[in-house]
Amino acid sequence: MSVEVRQVNKTFGSYKALQDVSLKVNSGELVALLGPSGSGKTTLLRVIAGMEVPDRSQNSEEGKILFFDQDVAKWSVSQRQVGFVFQHYALFKHMSVFENIAFGLRVRPRGQRPSNAQIHDRVKQLLQLIQLEGFGDRFPMQLSGGQRQRVALARAMAIEPKVLLLDEPFGALDAKVRQKLREWLRRLHEQMHTTTILVTHDQEEALEVADRVVVMNQAKIEQIGTPEEVFHRPASEFVIDFLGSVNVFSGRSSETLKGESKVYVRPHELQISRNSIDHTSISGQVQKIHRAGASAKVFVQTDNDQKVRVDVPMNQLQSLELGIGQQVFITPMQAHVFSPDYTI
């Protein structure tokens, strides 16, 4: 089912959490809302779930929330049938894993409630899906963080929600578990094809899991695009800066550019060499080399006193025989410029 918000505004007192935000998530898509804390991404998710009400406006087209082209702005949280997963799991800790997952089925009005046997089958299926068969009798306290979050996901999916909303689902877990669950979530999505919106502040997570990424900053959407698009063709300085490390050259420091514009070059987009390659090469001195990782991080101080990070593949680092204090040239192979009417 598709989900759409149109020109949504939300203010808390004098604080603007969402400013004129419009977004359409297609049916069966997995979209990540990516941004720093305070960017409004969680508020947007809660608005879609119905836990926050958008600001009212005179214009009837503003502040609309559509599920499959149907306006649901006045629907309550339970009417919207969304599966919501919280960062801190929000499992019912006085209930067993089984009862947690069965909750959404048990609270249905008598006419629509499945029989006990049906509930049992459904929960068993879901336990299998989250690879926690045999854990039905345990209590949330007895599970690890990753297991808890999987139970929370199963609980949300038990009601066969039209949309899955995940609020920093892996935010409280350690790096290894995060990585595993991320891959698991992606596989799960490919099986189920439930329209899913995931909130995260982790750019790697967003780029790896999502079909499309919505980058948010200061209550606004900065860019919507596929992971490739937002990474390789960032629409703004904020996007390039937020999606990984980047070197910023002001106009004066680079031969390639005149004027006040800034040039953004990612560490892997810089070529390091002993000799000048062309007129865009900048000379500098190696200050530090971090060798831990897939590629080495070489920190260079340019002649006009700018600190630059260059990512160099290990084998290249060896053949260059770089050392601290070495005189080198760095040459941008690719650059991103955001001053108006200027392309490189």
Footprint on this chain of other proteins (rule: CB under 8 A): 49, 51, 76-78, 81-84, 86, 88, 90-94, 103-104, 107-108, 141-142, 152, 155-156, 158-159
161: which DSSP letter? -
Please state, in angstroms and rounded to a whole number, the distance separating the CA atoms of residues 244 and 203.
7
Residues 298 and 272 sit within 8 Å (Cβ to Cβ): yes
The least CB distance from residue 196 to other proteins, in Å, is: 15
Compute the least distance from the CB of residue 52 to other proteins, in Å: 11
Q: Which is nearer to other proteins, 46 or 266 (CB)?
A: 46
**C-beta separation of 9 from 192 below 8 A:** no
As measured in angstroms, the least distance from the Cβ of 104 to other proteins is 4
Q: Is the CB of residue 268 less than 8 Å from the CB of residue 311?
A: yes
Measured from the CB atom, the residue of 76 and 343 that comes closer to other proteins is 76
CB nearer to other proteins: give 107 or 324: 107
Nearest to other proteins of 84, 135 (CB atom): 84
Task: State the nearest-atom distance from the C-beta of 77 to other proteins, in Å.
Answer: 5
Q: d(Cα 342, Cα 97) in Å, to the nearest integer?
A: 57
| Length reported for the chain | 344
* 89 versus 264: smaller Cβ distance to other proteins: 89
Q: Residue 158: which residues within 8 A CB-CB, separation 6 or more?
A: 101, 102, 103, 104, 105, 122, 123, 126
In whole angstroms, the minimum distance from the beta carbon of 73 to other proteins comes to 17
52 burial level (CB within 10 Å; 0-12, 13-18, 19+): middle
- Nearest residue (CB) to other proteins, 81 versus 253: 81
User: What is the maximum span of the chain, computed from C-alpha positions, in angstroms?
Assistant: 79
Which of residues 117 and 141 has its CB atom nearest to other proteins in the complex?
Answer: 141
Residue 51 Cβ vs other proteins, minimum distance, rounded to whole Å: 6
Q: How far apart are CA 101 and CA 138, in angstroms?
A: 12
CB-CB contact of 324 with 307 (8 Å): no
Q: How far is the CB of 85 from other proteins (least distance, A)?
A: 9
Triad 163, 171, 42: Cα angle to 5°: 50
